[in-house]
């Protein structure tokens, strides 16, 4: 029996020996890994991890009403380093690849050590070639990554600097390195909508900090930011900007459609290029902007309150009519150029003789308003003016909108003390001086309310969104509207009108009111507001700071804007 | 005639331990997908049933039904090539089951070889060697086309071992494997020259008849000539798989990384391990294919050096009991089935564990009885059942 089994004896022994040998080799390797080098592998194991990498969401694109892109995104390459995974002996290599200054790179790498486990941007805005050189060498640069981050671009940075604003790197609350957040303007106000939500992919990082593969599962796709369409017309805005600039003075212009409430122009000159703020502005450029004489950071369209001067007369005239102090035929004593009252001289800019209210608006006679307003009540006038959008912000969206000011007993008591003021303050206020302050936007709204007969809808900046926000109660009769409109019509059409010289040439009827606002010891501010009915129902206001006479300086600017509106509306027909 | 011996406790205990520890390990490796564990439990229970059936199945009947098994396997392999699904296209869906035909092919190769080789050893059957090479070659090539290169290579190694077990000398082994060598030698002319010279030497020493000379020279020449064309037919990813198999360093980011992770897992296990369900590499899902190819890494991380060696020891005991039974077996077929099974187990353990240790190329070869999956488990349990049958009935002829 054993005899035949001996046939298998030799292979049995060989196979057993070979098997034992093979198993011993495996055991030998196990000894090496699990006993001799166990500490090493335990250390590696603790450094193994899954890294979350944020995929920024593309920020929403901002367009104007005609689809012109005002803010969009460009891809920009950045190089980031995770300190704990970066071998500092590779700094030289990284420097060579980036052709960066050694010292500067060293500083940034040191700075990155503050957040050792987080990806920190070392260099941004690389060209494709520069980024490519680093990307090609990533295999020997553990902890380094090349990323494409969206970079904001503003197509008309200067013109829309106040409205759209700019983005900057988010502060300490940021979710990820390179996260952008809106700093000013709509970028800030609408940040949540524009930003979208960033996505996350999880990468498996090996023991050397190199990305080895995607960790499947748990990925979050980025949600692109919402695209925003604003009601402004960039063509008009650009024209308004250049017109104001051509006066050589700072200024602002507002145009709005009084049937829809859509704002078409919010021009504030000078502006600054918002593109230079992206990724942090250099202190040199920042100082340049700060020290520029025109103060470009100052937003003149809705965040600065000026004495409105005679443009306010359309409101005070309506108040005089509604309060019954005057009617269309009331003719107070004539204007002799100066009105003596209570020992003071109240000056008019001309000698207008005897006028009714239409004539007073046409020729902008101050004396008429002195003589009539003194019969009224200051608080009533302020309350009435509030119904015209003054003394409070007119939108609920524009950032930093000023309220302006209206004189009330309370305010004057506060300012001058009981008895420290008198009827003169009311008289001065009735011609838009003294304690009356308003932004160009508010002044445009007063004209829009006259034009629309008090039916102006809430103002809108964002297209296709139901209007919400501030509305007004003018408490004004149709008859009063008719009289004030007539005064505004004649201010342009009558040969005696203050705007006749600058606006009567236009092929459409313009209803306007000029203003020459005294401004302490400085040159007067030149104002104009008004509206047209055809071809578009728009109201406007223009101010040229220290420009001088309203009809002569602001009038032509407004006229040219209207020309552009005519040109555009004929185009679109 | 049948004189069954009493229970081989070494065999039964080591097999039971391997199955239980394997289940335990799959539970840990399946992470949050605990359904994998329930599946595996079903597979194991099915495997035990198959084992019991195979251990009482008349081996003579198995020997006689070899042609049917061969036909069945060949059809399965061909069907998989055309209708295969799953992640690697190696699964054939039959009803609710996903069958991996290449696993069954391994069983078939063992039975086929056990059926033919002893006969060829005893008496020279005209054209027998060529017929055997042809039939086994078809199985190997079909397995390769699954595509399952790892299993095809394992098959060749099992055949190699079984040829040796059958008592053929190394010259014979060379002759049997000459088609494979011919294919490899076609890479370079010098290699082919060396191969052909060696072939002539072996043929001369074995005193082959002219007919055998002609057969081998013509056959190997055809194979060598056809190989470059066949290579060209392969898709790039298939070529890549082949070259990666032959040279794993060429693909450091794919398979290479898995091996690094596996080594980290095993090394961090230390002597006593990190504790069951506590392997950080495993629990953090760092290990690739951790319930399949790299299941040993999970084990080694959680149970450490002691656990690893214990597991290897269990395989060793199992292989020893089978080989011992095969050695004693009076029936050459039974002996060959046992030897084939033992070699099967040994090769799979060495290749799989060697892979997790970074000593072997990365292939999809499972760790017998432990890796998640039904096809290989049932195949192994069937082979083990036949082997146990052979051990207990070593006296039968």
Unique residue bearing structure tokens 């090996």: A206
Which of A9, A16, A38 has its CB closest to that of B267?
A: A38
Report whether A509 contacts A489 (CB < 8 A): yes
DSSP state of B104: H
Residue-level pLDDT at A21: 92
Q: Which pLDDT value is given to residue A139?
A: 77
Half-sphere exposure (Cβ direction) of A231: Cα atoms closer than 13 Å: 22
CB contact under 8 A, B319 and A25: no
Question: What is the full DSSP assignment across A296-340?
Answer: TTS-TTTS--B--GGGGHHHHHHHHHHTTS--TT---SPB-SEEE
- Decide which of B314 and B239 is more confident: B314
The whole-angstrom separation of Cα B277 and Cα B299 is 10
pLDDT of residue A57: 85
Q: Which residues pair with A251 in a beta bridge?
A: A269, A544
- Domain residue ranges in chain B: 1-55+249-371+383-397, 169-246
pLDDT value of residue B31: 67
More confident residue, A466 or B87: A466
Report pLDDT digits (tens) over B151-197: 888 898 899 899 888 888 778 888 877 888 888 788 777 888 888 88
Q: Which of A482-491, A536-545, B323-332 has the lowest mean pLDDT?
A: B323-332
Closest by Cβ to B267, choosing from A11, A12, A34: A34
Determine the 3-state secondary structure of A99 from DSSP: coil
pLDDT band at A137, cuts 50/70/90? confident
CB A204 to CB B269 under 8 A? no
- Taking the Cβ of residue A107 and every Cβ of chain B, the question of whether any pair is shorter than 8 Å is answered with no
User: What average pLDDT does range B72-88 have in this prediction?
Assistant: 83
Whole-number percent of chain A with pLDDT over 90: 46
- Interface predicted TM-score (ipTM): 0.88
Distances from the Cα of B313 to the Cα of A21, A34, B291, B320, angstroms: 13, 17, 21, 10
Q: Are A540 and A531 in contact (CB under 8 A)?
A: yes
Question: Which of A32-41, B90-99, B165-174, B208-217 has the weakest average pLDDT?
Answer: B90-99
Chain-centre distance for alpha carbon A524:
28
Please provide the average confidence, as pLDDT, over all residues in chain B: 84
Structure token pair of residue A486: 């007539």
**A299 to chain B, minimum CA–CA distance in Å?**
55
Determine, for residues B357 and A37 on separate chains, whether the beta-carbon distance falls below 8 Å. no
pLDDT above 60 for B267: yes
pLDDT category, A379, cuts 50, 70, 90?
Answer: very high
Task: Please state, in angstroms and rounded to a whole number, the distance separating the CA atoms of residues B390 and B396.
Answer: 9
Judge: B284–A20 Cβ closer than 8 Å, yes or no. Answer: no
The H or E element containing residue A557 is helix A555-572
Is the CB of B260 less than 8 angstroms away from the CB of A48?
A: no
Q: Are A258 and A539 in contact (CB under 8 A)?
A: yes
Question: Which whole-number Å values give the CA distances from A89 to A85, A228, B44, in the listed order?
Answer: 12, 47, 53
Query: Is the pTM above the cut of 0.90?
Result: no
Lowest average pLDDT, out of A55-64, A118-127, A210-219, A389-398, goes to A210-219
Please name the residue of chain B whose CA is at the shortest distance from the CA of residue A44: B264
Report the pLDDT value the prediction gives residue B253, as an integer from 0 to 100.
46
Is there a contact between A44 and B330 if contact means CB atoms under 8 Å apart? no
pLDDT above 70 (res B252): no
Average pLDDT, chain A: 86
What are the chain B neighbours of A12 within 8 Å (beta carbons)?
Answer: 323-324, 326-327
> Residues A228-265: pLDDT tens digits?
999 999 999 999 999 999 999 999 999 999 998 999 99
Predicted pLDDT of residue B175: 82
The residue of chain B with its CA nearest to that of A27 is B309
Helices (H) then strands (E): counts for chain B: 17, 2
- Indicate if the pLDDT at residue B389 is higher than 80: yes
How far away is chain B from the Cα of A199, in angstroms, using its nearest Cα? 22
Range A424-448 average pLDDT? 93
Residues of B in contact with A23 (CB under 8 A): 312, 315-316, 349-350
pLDDT of residue B323: 93
Distance linking the first and last C-alpha atoms of chain B? 9
Tokens 């950045």 correspond to A78
Mean pLDDT calculated for residue range A59-69: 92
- Scan residues 477-506 of A and list those with Cβ closer than 8 Å to B: none
| pLDDT tens-place string over residues A139-184 | 778 778 887 777 888 998 889 999 999 988 777 655 666 678 888 8
A6 close contact with B: CB closer than 8 A: no
- Residues whose CB is less than 8 angstroms from the CB of residue A480 and which lie 6 or more positions away in sequence, other chains included: A318, A321, A322
Confidence (pLDDT) at B249: 47
Q: Which of A191-200, A315-324, A500-509, B328-337 has the lowest mean pLDDT?
A: A191-200
- Split at pLDDT 50, 70, 90, the class of A216 is low
- Sign of the Cα torsion B319, B322, B327, B332 reads negative
pLDDT at residue A129 greater than cutoff 60: yes
Count how many pairs of residues, chain A against chain B, have C-beta atoms within 8 Å. 130
Partners of residue B353 in chain A, C-beta under 8 Å: 26
Whether the pLDDT of residue B19 is over 90: the answer is yes
pLDDT tens for each residue of B299-335: 999 999 999 999 999 999 999 999 999 998 888 899 9
The predicted-structure confidence for A106-126, as pLDDT tens digits, reads as follows 888 887 777 666 677 788 778
Measured distance CA(B13)–CA(B6) in Å, rounded: 14
Number of CB atoms found within 10 A of residue A535's CB: 15
Q: For B121-138, what is the mean pLDDT?
A: 79
- Chain B residues near residue A20 by CB distance under 8 angstroms: 316
Q: What is the pLDDT of residue A230?
A: 93
CA B306-B310-B312 angle, 5° bins: 120
Q: C-alpha angle B268/B271/B277, rounded to 5°?
A: 60
C-beta atoms of B270 and A38 within 8 A: yes
Q: What pLDDT, on a 0 to 100 scale, did the predictor assign at position B256?
A: 58
């Amino acid at each position: 029996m054993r005899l035949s089994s001996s046939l298998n004896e030799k292979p049995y022994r060989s196979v057993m020996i070979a098997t034992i040998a093979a198993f011993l080799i495996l055991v030998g390797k196990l000894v090496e890994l699990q006993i001799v080098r166990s500490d090493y592998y335990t250390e590696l194991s603790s450094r193994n991890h899954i890294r979350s990498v944020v995929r920024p969401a593309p920020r929403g694109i901002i367009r104007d009403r005609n689809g012109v892109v005002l803010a969009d995104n460009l891809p920009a390459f950045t190089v980031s380093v995770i300190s704990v995974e970066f071998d500092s002996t590779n700094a030289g290599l990284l420097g060579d690849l980036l052709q960066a200054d050694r010292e500067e790179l060293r500083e940034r790498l040191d700075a990155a050590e503050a957040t050792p486990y987080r990806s920190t941007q070392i260099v941004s805005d690389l060209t494709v070639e520069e980024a490519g050189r680093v990307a090609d060498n990533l295999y020997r640069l553990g902890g380094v990554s090349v990323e494409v981050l969206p970079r904001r671009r503003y197509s008309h940075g200067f013109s829309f600097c106040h409205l759209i604003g700019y983005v900057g790197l988010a502060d300490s609350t940021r979710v990820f390195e390179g996260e952008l957040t809106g700093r000013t303007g709509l970028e800030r106000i609408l940040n949540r909508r524009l930003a979208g939500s960033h996505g996350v992919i999880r990468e498996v990082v090996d023991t050397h900090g190199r990305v080895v593969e995607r960790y499947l599962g748990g990925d979050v796709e980025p949600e692109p930011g919402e695209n925003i369409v604003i009601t402004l017309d960039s063509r008009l805005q650009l024209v308004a900007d250049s017109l104001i600039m051509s006066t050589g003075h700072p200024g602002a212009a507002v145009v709005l459609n009084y049937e829809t409430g859509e704002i078409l122009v919010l021009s504030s000159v000078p502006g600054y290029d918002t593109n230079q703020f992206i990724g942090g502005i250099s202190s040199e450029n920042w100082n340049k902007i700060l020290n520029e004489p025109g103060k470009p950071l100052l937003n003149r369209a809705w965040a600065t309150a000026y004495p409105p001067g005679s443009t306010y007369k359309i409101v005070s005239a309506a108040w005089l009519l509604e309060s019954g102090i005057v009617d269309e035929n009331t003719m107070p004593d004539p204007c002799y150029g100066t009105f003596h009252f209570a020992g003071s001289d109240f000056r008019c800019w001309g000698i207008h003789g005897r006028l009714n209210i239409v004539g007073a608006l046409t020729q902008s006679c101050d004396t008429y308003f002195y003589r009539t307003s003194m019969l009224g009540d200051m608080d009533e006038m302020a309350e009435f003016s509030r119904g015209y959008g003054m003394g409070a912000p007119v939108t609920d969206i524009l950032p930093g909108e000023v309220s302006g000011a209206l004189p009330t007993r309370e305010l004057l008591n506060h300012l001058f003390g009981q008895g420290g003021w008198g009827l003169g303050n009311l008289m001065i206020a009735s011609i838009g001086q003294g304690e009356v302050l308003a932004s160009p936007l508010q002044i445009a709204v007063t004209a829009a309310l006259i034009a629309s007969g008090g039916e102006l809808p809430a103002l809108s900046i964002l297209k296709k969104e139901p209007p919400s926000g501030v509305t007004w109660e003018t408490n004004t009769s149709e008859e009063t509207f008719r009289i004030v409109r007539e005064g505004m019509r004649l201010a342009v059409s009558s040969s005696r009108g203050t705007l006749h010289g600058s606006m009567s040439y236009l092929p459409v009827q313009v209803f306007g009111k000029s203003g020459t606002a005294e401004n302490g010891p400085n040159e007067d501010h030149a104002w104009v507001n008004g509206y047209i009915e055809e071809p578009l129902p728009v109201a406007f206001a223009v101010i040229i700071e220290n420009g001088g006479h309203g009809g002569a300086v602001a009038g032509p600017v407004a006229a040219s804007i209207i020309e552009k509106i005519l040109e555009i509306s004929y185009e679109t027909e | 005639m049948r004189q069954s011996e009493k229970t081989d406790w070494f065999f039964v205990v080591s097999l039971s331990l391997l199955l239980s520890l394997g289940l335990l390990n799959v539970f840990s490796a399946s992470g949050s997908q605990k359904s994998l564990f329930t599946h595996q439990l079903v597979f194991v229970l099915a495997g035990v049933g198959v084992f019991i059936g195979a251990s009482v199945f008349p081996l003579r009947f198995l020997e006689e039904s070899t042609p049917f098994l061969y036909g069945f396997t060949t059809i399965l392999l061909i069907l998989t090539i055309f209708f295969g699904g799953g992640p690697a296209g190696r699964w054939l869906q039959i009803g609710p089951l996903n069958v991996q035909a290449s696993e069954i092919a391994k069983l078939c190769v063992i039975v086929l070889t056990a059926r033919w080789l002893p006969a060829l050893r005893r008496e020279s059957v005209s054209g027998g060697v060529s017929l055997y090479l042809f039939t086994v070659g078809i199985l190997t090539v079909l397995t390769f086309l699954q595509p399952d290169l790892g299993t095809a290579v394992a098959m060749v190694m099992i055949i190699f071992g079984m040829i040796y077990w059958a008592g053929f000398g190394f010259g014979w082994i060379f002759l049997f494997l000459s088609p494979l060598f011919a294919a490899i030698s076609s890479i370079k002319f010098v290699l082919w020259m060396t191969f052909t010279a060696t072939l002539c030497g072996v043929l001369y020493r074995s005193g082959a008849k002219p007919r055998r000379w002609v057969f081998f020279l013509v056959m190997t020449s055809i194979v060598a000539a056809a190989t470059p064309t066949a290579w060209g037919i392969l898709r790039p990813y298939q070529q890549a798989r082949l070259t990666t198999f032959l040279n794993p360093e060429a693909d450091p980011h794919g398979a290479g990384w898995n091996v690094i992770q596996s080594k980290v897992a095993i090394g961090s296990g230390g002597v006593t391990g990190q504790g069951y369900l506590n392997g950080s590499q495993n629990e953090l899902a760092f290990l690739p294919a951790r319930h399949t190819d790299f299941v040993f890494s999970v084990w080694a991380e959680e149970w450490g050096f002691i656990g690893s060696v214990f597991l290897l020891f269990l395989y060793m005991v199992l292989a020893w009991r089978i080989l011992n039974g095969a050695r004693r077996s009076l029936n050459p077929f039974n002996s060959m089935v046992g030897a084939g099974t033992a070699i099967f187990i040994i090769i799979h353990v060495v290749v799989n564990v060697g892979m997790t240790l970074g000593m072997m190329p990365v292939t999809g070869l499972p760790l017998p009885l432990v890796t998640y999956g039904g096809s290989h488990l049932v195949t192994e349990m069937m082979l083990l059942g036949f082997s146990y049958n052979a051990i207990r009935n070593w006296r039968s002829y």
